[in-house]
Amino acid sequence: MKLFITGGAGFIGSNHIKLLLATDPDVSIVNFDALTYAGNLENLTDVATDPRYRFVRGDVSTVADVMDALDEGIDAIVHFAAESHVDRSIESAADFVRTNVVGTQVLLDAARARKVPRFVHVSTDEVMGSLDDGGFFTEDSVLAPNSPYAASKAAAEHFVRAAMQTHGLDAVITRCSNNYGPYQFPEKLIPLVIANAIDGKPIPVYGNGQQVRDWIYVDDHCRAVDAVMRKAATGSVYCVGARSERANLEVIRTILDAVGAPHSLITYVSDRPGHDRRYAIDPVRVESEIGWTPRVTFEEGIAKTVGWYRDNAEWMAHARSGAYRDFYEKNLAWRETSSADAHS
Ligand code: NAD
Ligand code: TYD
């Protein structure tokens, strides 16, 4: 199985690549990633020299980058690349439209041109908007995005659907809930809380902290994406979640207790504009049709995750200082230079 994985230097993409290389001896992977602030090749140092793995730096919204990197003979594109942080999309939505919308359309066109037999589009539950206290998101929920991030991901889904309907492209879509685990950039809630708790710094809580998210350990999401890629009927959409709803304050208190830090670090700050109240997934369709179930409970996952960040203080220090951004220049830029020399 030859896979073209976009966004593989990010949080979920890098976990996905490592899971596949560890569990499928027959897989080979091209990791296509622009290395934005969210792309961190230090996530992949332990697989960097695996002969089944190759990194290509490129931008999904640039046709030439994608067409140069995407060879014929690829079995599936697994599309993780995105601008992914809601707060940044509130500051400016331009990069979200360029990467998430234009980038997805560029990849869909390239998939057709290169006759790629399957396109796996990694979407998010946030395209379905916000829930009140009752009810769940299902595959039949209406798309009703509230943040510019969610709007760009919903737009991308529409382009995936249009490519299927208009051009007969084989595509499948997953909509997962909030992920957490190793290698998550510390702008997102859980790694931010762990890092600040370890350092004894204030924990910013938006608004009253009663917003609910449905948390899933990253490996469980990756196993779902892989199972959907291998088993789902063309055109299908699956909602993925682990039935682990928690209010933000509850998550924060659980982490503070796991780290052994005082609850007095909790600091209430202004609420996020348009802050979605609640996300919650009913995963019954992916469980019954694909046979996927989550393996890691929230309590186990938080303990593993806190342990990982404690054991990987250097990764966190580099993520926070920006030092991880030197990795490409120090370790890989020579490859592009030498390949350009070889062509001249
Ligand atoms: P991330 O921000 O950690 O990583 C994104 C990756 O995409 C980075 O490596 C970045 O360099 C790359 N990238 C960004 N713009 C690019 C471009 N123009 N061209 C090529 N590469 C580019 O994101 P993540 O949390 O790993 O999320 C991955 C995917 O999963 C996204 O599509 C996101 O919408 C989706 N998702 C995330 C969550 C979550 O909780 N994090 C939940 C459900 C779905
Ligand atoms: P986040 O990790 O940004 O994910 P998303 O917005 O995609 O759900 O935020 C998770 C929740 O935590 C969300 O309700 C916003 C809240 N939050 C805080 O209260 N403080 C913070 O510093 C951050 C980053 C998030």
**From the CA of 190, which ligand is nearest?**
2
Q: Is 305 in the pocket of ligand 1 (CB under 6 A)?
A: no
Classify domain 2-179+218-243+277-296+325-343 at the CATH superfamily level: NAD(P)-binding Rossmann-like Domain (3.40.50.720)
Q: Which residue's CA lies nearest to atom 3 of ligand 2?
A: 188
| Tens digits of residue pLDDT in 273-307 | 999 999 999 999 999 999 999 999 999 999 999 99
344 C-alpha to center of ligand 1: Å?
Answer: 34
Taking the domains of the chain in order of start, what are their residue ranges?
A: 2-179+218-243+277-296+325-343
- Residue closest via CA to ligand 2's atom 22 equals 204
Ligand nearest to the CA of 278: 2
Query: What is the Cα 251 distance to its own chain's centre?
Result: 20
Nearest CA to ligand 1 atom 17: 59
Give the pLDDT band (50/70/90) at residue 213.
very high
Note the ligand closest to the C-alpha atom of 208.
2
Binned at pLDDT 50, 70 and 90, residue 342 comes out as: very low
- pLDDT per residue over 87-106, tens digit each? 999 999 999 999 999 999 99
| Residue predicted with more confidence, 244 or 336 | 244
Of 5-9, 40-44, 265-269, 335-339, the range with the lowest mean pLDDT is 335-339
Mean residue pLDDT across the chain = 95
Average pLDDT over every residue of 36-65: 96
Spatial distance between the Cα atoms of 142 and 199, rounded to a whole number of angstroms: 42
Q: Which atom of ligand 2 is nearest to the CA of 193?
A: 22
- Indicate whether residue 7 lines ligand 1 (CB < 6 A): yes
Atom number, ligand 1, closest to the C-alpha of residue 216: 40
Which of 247, 260, 246 is CA-nearest to residue 297? 246
Our mutation pick for probing the ligand 1 site, out of 44, 60, 67, 84, counting the most ligand atoms within 8 A of Cβ, is: 84
Q: Which residue ranges have their beta carbon within 6 Å of ligand 2?
A: 86, 178, 188-189, 192, 204-206, 211, 213, 248, 272
pLDDT at 334: 54
CA gyration radius, the chain? 20
Distance from residue 284's CA to the centre of ligand 2 (Å): 26
Is residue 273 packed enough to be buried (19+ CB in 10 Å), middle (13-18) or exposed (0-12)?
A: exposed
Q: How far apart are CA 237 and CA 228, in angstroms?
A: 9
Q: How far is the CA of 37 from the centre of ligand 2 (A)?
A: 18
316-334 pLDDT, tens digit each: 999 999 988 887 777 765 5
| Ligand 1 pocket residue status of 191, Cβ below 6 Å | no
Distances (CA, A) of 114 to 26, 59, 105, 183: 22, 17, 14, 32
Catalytic residue IDs: 125-126, 149
Q: What ligand has the least distance to the C-alpha of 272?
A: 2
Q: In the predicted model, what is the mean pLDDT of residues 129-148?
A: 97
Helix ranges (H only) for the chain are: 11-23, 63-69, 86-91, 94-96, 103-113, 148-167, 189-199, 218-231, 248-259, 284-285, 298-311, 313-321, 327-331, 333-343
Centroid of ligand 1 to alpha carbon of 59 (angstroms): 13
How much is the pTM? Answer: 0.97
Residue 152 CA to ligand 1 center (angstroms) comes to 13
Q: How many whole angstroms from 113 Cα to the centroid of ligand 2?
A: 39
Chain CA centroid to CA 169, Å: 23
CA 121 – ligand 2 centroid, Å: 23
Q: Is 39 in the pocket of ligand 1 (CB under 6 A)?
A: yes
pLDDT of residue 332: 65
Q: pLDDT class for 335, splitting at 50, 70, 90?
A: low
